[in-house]
């Protein structure tokens, strides 16, 4: 018997239901989760107010509805050959995600998060999170754009220290970025 209807309890039993919408029941809001994990190292000479984006850490997601939200969360593990301020902005398809950065204030750089690199023998971790609006149903790529607070060029590192000693006390780390689509 493929379908049964209990007239007393109202229970309808079937092997499958299909349709375009379902109401009255909470079915969960997280529709998909994608993640990128970078476990190798990368480095680049960066300065002069230039962002480093070719480090290889990014995540792409294709929303199912433009009104849905995208929750972005991640962390980067960084170091530099100069003790200096270090920051990042979340980029969406190659442009800074303005709502995820500090408000405009003169010539100051608008960033999502920052830290200070004080030592060359350990990495600093910068976490970041933001709830974005999808805005479309085309694939979106999110990535952190990394920056050192110096107008001169210095080498900055991802997942490794500037110190090159082959020693137990020198670390190798990972960086991650995840995106979750959340139903509106």
**Which residues would be at the binding site for other proteins (CB under 8 A)?**
1-4, 12, 14-31, 49, 69, 71, 73, 75, 85-87, 99-116, 118, 126-131, 149-151, 182
Q: Which of 13, 39 has the CB closer to other proteins? A: 13
Q: Which of 10, 167 has the CB closer to other proteins? A: 10
Q: Which of 83, 137 has the CB closer to other proteins? A: 83
The distance of closest approach from Cβ of residue 53 to other proteins in the complex, given in angstroms and rounded to an integer, is 17
Question: CB 166: neighbour CB atoms within 10 A?
Answer: 5
Residue 153 in tokens: 């060029």
The distance of closest approach from Cβ of residue 153 to other proteins in the complex, given in angstroms and rounded to an integer, is 14
Question: CB 28: neighbour CB atoms within 10 A?
Answer: 7
Q: Are 174 and 125 in contact (CB under 8 A)?
A: no
Of the candidates 122, 109, 121, 89, the one whose C-alpha atom is nearest the C-alpha of residue 149 is: 109
Q: Which of 130, 157 has the CB closer to other proteins? A: 130
Q: Are 148 and 51 in contact (CB under 8 A)?
A: no
The distance of closest approach from Cβ of residue 144 to other proteins in the complex, given in angstroms and rounded to an integer, is 13
The distance of closest approach from Cβ of residue 136 to other proteins in the complex, given in angstroms and rounded to an integer, is 20
How far apart are alpha carbons 44 and 56 in whole angstroms?
12
The distance of closest approach from Cβ of residue 91 to other proteins in the complex, given in angstroms and rounded to an integer, is 14
97 SS3 class: coil
Residue 12 in tokens: 């309808």
């Amino acid at each position: 018997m493929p379908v049964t209807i209990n007239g007393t309890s109202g229970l309808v039993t079937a092997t499958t239901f299909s349709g375009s919408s379902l109401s009255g029941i909470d079915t969960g809001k997280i529709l998909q989760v994608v993640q990128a994990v970078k476990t190798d190292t990368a480095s680049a000479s960066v300065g002069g107010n230039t962002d480093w984006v070719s480090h290889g850490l990014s995540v792409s997601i294709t929303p199912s509805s433009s009104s849905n939200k995208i929750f972005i969360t991640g962390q980067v593990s960084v170091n530099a050959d100069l003790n200096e301020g270090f920051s990042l902005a979340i980029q969406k398809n190659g442009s800074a995600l303005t709502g995820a950065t500090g408000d405009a204030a003169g010539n100051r750089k608008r960033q999502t998060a920052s830290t200070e690199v004080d030592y060359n023998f350990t990495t600093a971790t910068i976490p970041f999170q933001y709830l974005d609006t999808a805005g479309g149903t085309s694939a979106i790529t999110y990535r952190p754009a990394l920056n050192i607070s110096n107008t001169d060029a210095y080498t900055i590192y991802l997942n490794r220290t500037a110190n090159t000693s082959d020693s137990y006390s020198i670390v190798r780390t990972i960086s991650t970025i995840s995106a979750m689509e959340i139903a509106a």
